[in-house]
Structure 1
Amino acid sequence: MTIALYAILLCVGCYFVGGIPFGYLAGLTRGIDIREHGSGNTGATNVGRVMGRKWAACIFLLDAAKGFLPILLTGYVLRKPATSADAYDAIVQIMWLCCGMCCVLGHSFPVYLRFKGGKGVATSLGVILGIYPYMSLAGVLAFIVWGVVLWLSRMVSLASICAALSLPVFVTGCMLWDGLDVVAGNVPMIVFAILIAGLVLYRHRGNIARLRTGSESRLGDRSNTADSP
């Protein structure tokens, strides 16, 4: 089997794994359709709003895992382990990153729920952490940005937007730390970071509109409909 066929099969598999609607399934265990409550989103934030913080933490971890575990597996199958710190063949790298993108697309547009899923934040984090070292370190830094902005603003959506915008900057910065030759050998990773950021921003377009008008809800508000993961 050629590496191209491997990549196609892995991308399809990653999409279906990424599309597993853990938030929706969690709601079913309580006899509810999470899409009919809160913001209607299947991500961890809305699950937490409707079912409690413990459920939110559980769904966040599961959504992150369906990005992290597949990217490790695809790295192994493509014979480019996620523990490699070298700038490797661009074609294989692109295939690997495509698998990661499919995980996020599966989460955001799951075929199981008629392509209406979460906003991709948790799954994106899982994928990014699995691409060691440059993207994983950048992912940790972006997550810190998310936490700081959330603490200051109490807006999950704003925190997610800021984290997404910071990701390409951190990815590029981590590579520059090791030299321009590292940047040149890993351009696909920078492009991937930009695409992930763009997808997260697109999924938050409604939140962005409310932020511009000052009507976005904060954590703790009774009318809170702002969510992300």
Structure 2
Amino acid sequence: MIELQSVLLFGGSYLLGAVPFGLIISRMAGVDVRLEGSRNIGATNVGRVVGKKLGALTLLCDGLKGFLPMLAAARLLPASEQKEIVVCLCGALAVIGHMFSIYLGFKGGKGVATSLGVFLFLSPGATGISLAVFIAAVGLTGFVSVGSLLAAGLIPLWLWLLGQSSTVILTATVVALLIWVKHHENIARLLQGQEKSWKTGKKKG
């Protein structure tokens, strides 16, 4: 049975995840990031539009949105059979909040940075492997989207190989699927040879 404390943690996780830090930070620089570049509120577009430093700040803030709700749930909840499930749900809800923000009419970003915070909490080791995959993929292809999709898609495998629980693996799988769904436009552009390269800022065939 879900207790009131868990319900409050779920609500807080979603509401924190829904805070559009990329939009807030870009507006501090006098730009509405939703009208520039890819029009996404994530760290990649913020970095392209208003500079790498503010992009890095967005990455940090969005990552903390995924990590902190899980940390709070892990610290506040007493030991129980349901604790791991509640903690994992808090992370998933933070990602959903970022993707479908109540503050932006249930629109939002693609969830990569917030998911990074979730994955880091679930398993620093698996996250480190996927970060290496991300760096290698972006370096070889020039596409951030390719790195994001590969890193997210492979992390359930790393978690399984590292012996994580079924709850953790299922949570990572759901989050990875959400990332892929939110990248449907990028996937279409990649298939059509119209995706923009991070290296050049130009479309590559």
TM over 0.5: yes
- Flag the 1:154–1:223 CA change in 2: closer, same or farther, 3 A: closer
Structure 2: tracts of 5 or more residues without a match? none
Paired residue for 2:159? 171
Match for residue 153 of structure 1 among 141, 147, 151: 141
Q: Offset at 1:71?
A: 1.1
**In 2, Cα distance between equivalents of 1:109 and 1:10:** 18
Paired residue for 1:130? 121
Aligned 8 A contact 1:24 1:33 in 2: yes
**In 1, Cα distance between equivalents of 2:129 and 2:111:** 18
SS at match of 2:11: helix
**In 2, Cα distance between equivalents of 1:172 and 1:55:** 35
Aligned 8 A contact 1:3 1:78 in 2: no
Paired AA for residue 115 in structure 2: S
**In 1, Cα distance between equivalents of 2:132 and 2:202:** 27
Paired residue for 2:175? 196
Q: Offset at 1:30?
A: 2.0
Sequence identity (%): 39
Q: Which structure is richer in relative contact order (CA contacts within 8 A, separation 6 or more)? A: 1
Q: Offset at 1:221?
A: 3.3
**In 2, Cα distance between equivalents of 1:149 and 1:222:** 17
Paired residue for 2:75? 76
**In 2, Cα distance between equivalents of 1:217 and 1:64:** 24
User: TM-score, with normalisation over the residues of structure 1?
Assistant: 0.84
Paired residue for 1:211? 190
Paired AA for residue 125 in structure 1: L
Is 1:18 equivalent to 2:24 in the alignment? no
User: TM-score, with normalisation over the residues of structure 2?
Assistant: 0.93
Question: Which segments of structure 1 move beyond 3 Å, counting only runs of 4 or more?
Answer: 220-224
Paired residue for 2:99? 108
How many residues align? The count is 203
